[in-house]
Amino acid sequence: MAKSIKKIRIFSALEVANLCGVVNQTAINWIRNGYLKAFTTPGGQYRIYAEDLVSFLDSRGMRIPAGIEERFKDDVDWSSILVVDDDAELNDLLKRWFGRKLAEFTIFQAFDGFEAGRLLAEKRPGFVILDINLPGIDGHALCRRIKEDPGFGKPFIVAMTGLDRPEEAQAMLNEGADAFFAKPLDFEAVAATVAEFAQKAKAKDV
């Protein structure tokens, strides 16, 4: 699977207005009133990052225009995996395992929720291996956020936990996880699941 080229999406105030179905002055007023984050070009024109526009719309309960979602799809790196687990030994084992079994993928590592959020925003991986028992982090809430925030590109999420309880698995699936594994992990099954999701992504040409 070819590696995506990272693009920075920036809109003018007029483009925002057209996407949201409002007049140009309304978009400018959003910016001037501090509702919509923007920066100014040397020529004095407003410019808005796609992520900031999505955050603004989401915070106000407004529909995310299809045009924005399509632009976000271009940025998702479907040839990268983010492993999120504070257990450094397991995190490293997963990285090495994926490196052997899925050599075409780039593997990123996060050992806490803050680092996970940064890498999700910067690298936009197509696949997230998420331990839901991160210290100080509600794994259920984090899973929902990853799935619901278009800024992350809606990656496939493989959740994992040391709590081998059927209700825990169902809860994570309800929160948006695409698959669930209890620890100790079946590494072969996890790798096979990621490969299966990768084929689905490729078939959809996302």
pLDDT digit string (tens) for 17-28? 888 888 999 999
Q: What is the pLDDT of residues 35-84, one digit of tens each?
A: 999 999 888 899 998 878 888 888 888 877 765 665 555 568 899 999 99
**What's the pLDDT at 2?**
41
pLDDT tens for 124-143 read 899 999 998 887 777 788 88
pLDDT at position 121: 80
Residues 32 and 76: their CA atoms lie apart, in Å, by 31
Task: Give the chain's radius of gyration (CA, Å).
Answer: 19
Is residue 123 predicted with pLDDT exceeding 90? no
Average pLDDT over residues 107-128: 89
The whole-number pLDDT of residue 6 equals: 46
Cα 68 from Cα 75, distance rounded (Å): 11
Q: How far apart are CA 178 and CA 171, in angstroms?
A: 12
pLDDT, residue 200, reads 87
Comparing CA positions, the residue from 188, 122, 120, 186 lying closest to residue 157 is 120
Q: For position 165, what pLDDT does the model report?
A: 74
Segment 162-206, tens digit of pLDDT: 876 778 888 888 888 999 999 999 999 999 999 999 998 877 654
Which H or E run contains 171? Answer: helix 166-175
